[in-house]
Amino acid sequence: MKKVMLTGVRPSGNLTLGNYLGAIKNFVDRQDKCKSYIFIADLHAITSPKDPKLLKESVENCIAMYLACGVDPKKTIIFKQSDVLEHGTMGFIMTFQTKMGELSRMTQFKHKSQGLGKEGVDTGLFVYPTLMVGDILLYNTNIVPVGKDQQQHVELTRDLAERFNKRYGETFVMPDVYIAPIGNKILNLQNPLEKMNKSDSGDNRGTIFLMEDINVARKKIMSAVTDNLNCVRFDEENQPGISNLISILAKITGEEIASIERRFSGKGYGEFKREVADRVCELLSEIQTRYKGLSSEMLDAITTDGAKRARRVARQTLAKTCKALGLD
Ligand code: AMP
């Protein structure tokens, strides 16, 4: 029996190199070994208010990006979360299994709600982890490939699945998080103490977008903040900028970190950055070429079929859950 693998990305803003290397690439590399699901987390996007027109565009853009990044609809079920209504109900049920303390301890919540005060924080930001719990449990998921920032949410999923199974009888499969050893937290090129996000405070100079103009992307890598040690060495504590670039190169090419260090021993940062820029630009160029070959009709057909197949499984799991609760 193939293992079930599932991941999702919020369609808010343009996808970054961090999204690709931290989550999508790990998924693509394993999609034929597993029963694979990937979804556009559009319900997660509305946890804070969004312009409906922009959201619609972002959703379409996100589906196209999955395909351009190598997600294969013959091997993977691709769907929009809002097309499978069971996500809402399952998220609702899982919210009621959760303590406020558990949600208050989520690092993402603490980070994003900082300084907003109780009146300023959207409830969506507080409860979205339980929606994610529902997303994972609906498909009897075994493996969830995500970046390091989402690890805690998968751990919450395990806790809630265990709690539910103990209270109401064996219902959910216990999922495992998959965090790749390299590239699980791609850092901002201008501030290598922060994660690379879809938007940053410095005109996005520290973020590489997958649809970015190749020349702009090259400039961003060439002007990435490093240090004055002039040594290409993987040392996240003392050389976070250089270590981040080594991770990017290693993850794209599959070359071992030690081999990269050896190849660039005694060489300057300029030469090293040029190689990183070359490999990143090649990657972006491949993704962008594939993106241009896609049409709205193709995307529609793929997600309509995907939703139909996803719904079949989601409906069964939700029915089983409701039965366990006495709601059948
Ligand atoms: P999000 O864009 O927050 O919906 O994240 C979608 C997926 O990309 C999640 O699995 C994240 O963990 C992953 N991700 C986002 N940013 C990064 C990053 N800078 N480095 C590694 N993974 C990331």
- Rounded to the nearest whole angstrom, what is the distance from the C-alpha of residue 100 to the centroid of ligand 1? 25
- Rounded to the nearest whole angstrom, what is the distance from the C-alpha of residue 146 to the centroid of ligand 1? 7
CB of 150 within 6 A of ligand 1: the answer is yes
Provide the pLDDT for residue 202. 66
CB of 47 within 6 A of ligand 1: the answer is no
Provide the pLDDT for residue 40. 96
For the ranges 43-52, 271-280, 290-299, the lowest mean pLDDT is seen at 43-52
Give the predicted TM-score (pTM) of the model.
0.90
Provide the pLDDT for residue 91. 98
- Rounded to the nearest whole angstrom, what is the distance from the C-alpha of residue 29 to the centroid of ligand 1? 17
Q: With 90 as the cut, is the pLDDT of residue 49 above it? A: no
Is 198 labeled as catalytic in the residue annotation? yes
Q: pLDDT exceeding 70 applies to what percent of the chain?
A: 99
Q: How do residues 299-313 score in pLDDT, each as one tens digit?
A: 999 999 999 999 999
Task: In whole angstroms, give the CA distance from residue 235 to residue 243.
Answer: 6
Q: How do residues 79-101 score in pLDDT, each as one tens digit?
A: 999 999 999 999 999 999 999 99
Looking only at the bridges linking them, the beta strands covering 76-80 and 176-178 are unpaired
Q: What is the mean pLDDT of residues 91-117?
A: 93
Tell which one of 50, 111, 149 to mutate to probe ligand 1, the residue whose CB is within 8 A of the most ligand atoms.
149
Q: How do residues 137-195 score in pLDDT, each as one tens digit?
A: 999 999 999 888 899 999 999 999 999 999 999 999 999 999 999 999 999 999 999 99
- Rounded to the nearest whole angstrom, what is the distance from the C-alpha of residue 325 to the centroid of ligand 1? 34
CB of 19 within 6 A of ligand 1: the answer is yes
Is 110 labeled as catalytic in the residue annotation? no
- Rounded to the nearest whole angstrom, what is the distance from the C-alpha of residue 22 to the centroid of ligand 1? 6
Q: With 90 as the cut, is the pLDDT of residue 14 above it? A: no
CB of 195 within 6 A of ligand 1: the answer is yes
Is 112 labeled as catalytic in the residue annotation? yes
- Rounded to the nearest whole angstrom, what is the distance from the C-alpha of residue 196 to the centroid of ligand 1? 9
Domains of the chain: 4-183+296-325 (3.40.50.620)
CB of 306 within 6 A of ligand 1: the answer is no
pLDDT band at 211 (very low <50, low <70, confident <90, very high): very high
Query: Of the listed 195, 220, 251, 273, which one is catalytic?
Result: 195
For the ranges 92-96, 101-105, 118-122, 251-255, the lowest mean pLDDT is seen at 118-122
Query: Of the listed 3, 75, 112, 320, which one is catalytic?
Result: 112
Smallest CA separation from ligand 1 atom 14, residue: 19
Tell which one of 150, 185, 210 to mutate to probe ligand 1, the residue whose CB is within 8 A of the most ligand atoms.
150
